[in-house]
Amino acid sequence: MINYRYLGNSGLKITELTYGNWLTHASQVANEQAAACVRAALDVGISSFDTADVYANTAAETVLGDILKGERRESLEIFTKVYWPTGPGGANDTGLSRKHIMESINGSLTRLQTDYVDVYQAHRYDHETPLEETMTAFADIVRQGKALYIGVSEWTADQIREGVKLADQLNFQLISSQPQYSMLWRVIEDEVVPASEESGVSQIVWSPVAQGVLTGKYKPGEAPPAGSRATDEKGGANMIKRFMNDDVLNRVQKLQPIADELDLTMAQLAIAWVLQNPNVSAAIIGASRPEQVTDNAKASGVEIPAELMTRIDEALGDIVERDPNKTVETNPQGRVA
């Protein structure tokens, strides 16, 4: 079964593998297949589920709500997010204004068929809304019982510090950060992680297998396998392209002997690696087939010896992205209409 970890400086426990439905539910896979994946997650002991209103323009929340209907709500931890455009794209259909936050939480709860979410997350930082307005709206949502805790996604170290400061003043808990993090993408290590540790925040990381690159299925000099994310024109191919070059793919192949030594698949090694970071509470895994969930679940509880962690660093060398400025560079500096 899956191990539990505390989320930030709170009493909330979540499963260290969290099931996420970005780029899959209501998009890449049929609803029946999505349901089979969620059932597989529940069967292996995953109780934490991550989604967002923007995924498939709200449809992913609806699919997840339908699948989880009938499960004991108290036994689940459900996370969703607000920021990106939803609906027809009106002037107030995006961002972290009080109007958009208040309307979005009500929509998310309806689609998810629940009275509350465990963690409500700012999907990006909104440079066009005063942070005080955003945090006051989150405080009111917590007091209304519509969210138990607040989190953020892809915020910088300074933004996290300011958010936590305001949350403390408003008497609610900002406890989580959701950044991209993997063996290949380590931009949070130098600034975001230290700021989070001092602020009582921990990470729920996305893309621990680097959009599938760290599974080893993409071979240098070869076309991507048919049906893989690198061939998905709905969004997957664009996300993965930064890793799709022979320099990266050659280095990734050097991880196979390390995985073999631990009797792990490459994907299991990648997930176990991010969980070695003590500030990481959970790694988000997605799936298009239930057997992927079952296989990835075996990464829970794995301890990678220090000498093998060093060998991983040596194998990947200088292809690893570590620049903390990438958090700023990959985020919008204004609202996206």
Over residues 200-231, the pLDDT tens digits come to: 999 999 999 999 999 999 888 777 776 666 55
DSSP state of 126: -
Rounded to the nearest integer, the mean pLDDT of the chain is 93
**Widest CA span of the chain, in angstroms?**
55
Q: Is the separation of the CB atoms in 60 and 26 below 8 Å? A: yes
Give pLDDT, residue 333: 87
- CA 111/CA 104 separation, integer angstroms: 11
3-state secondary structure of 147: strand
Q: Give the pLDDT score at 133.
A: 98
% of residues, the chain, pLDDT over 90: 82
Dist CA 127 CA 97 (whole Å) = 10
Average pLDDT over residues 123-141: 98
From the list 167, 115, 124, 141, the residue with the least C-alpha distance to 10 is: 167
Give dist(CA 266, CA 296) in Å, integer: 10
Average pLDDT score over residue span 117-128: 97
Please tell me the distance from the alpha carbon of residue 188 to that of residue 208, in angstroms, as a whole number. 13
Domains of the chain: 4-209+267-302 (3.20.20.100)
- Distance between CA 2 and CA 301 in Å, rounded? 8
pLDDT band with cut points at 50, 70 and 90 for residue 137: very high
When pLDDT is averaged across residues 174-187 and rounded to a whole number, the result is 98
Q: Which whole number is the average pLDDT over 75-80?
A: 98
pLDDT at 109 over 80: yes
Q: Residue 185 is encoded by which pair of tokens?
A: 């993408």
- The rounded distance, in Å, linking the Cα atoms of 110 and 113 is 5
Range with the poorest average pLDDT among 125-129, 167-171, 217-221? 217-221
Residue 201 and residue 26: Cα distance in Å, rounded? Answer: 31
Task: Give mean pLDDT, residues 161-171.
Answer: 98
| pLDDT for position 226 | 64
Structure confidence at residue 106 (pLDDT): 98
pLDDT reading at 28 higher than 80: no
The pTM (predicted TM-score) of the whole model is 0.94
Percent of all residues in the chain with a pLDDT value above 70, rounded to a whole number: 93
Q: Could you give the residue numbers annotated as active site? A: 55
In this structure, the chain runs to a length of: 337
On the question of pLDDT at 232 being above 80, the answer is no
**Residue 118: helix, strand or coil by DSSP?**
strand
Strands 48-50 and 77-82: parallel
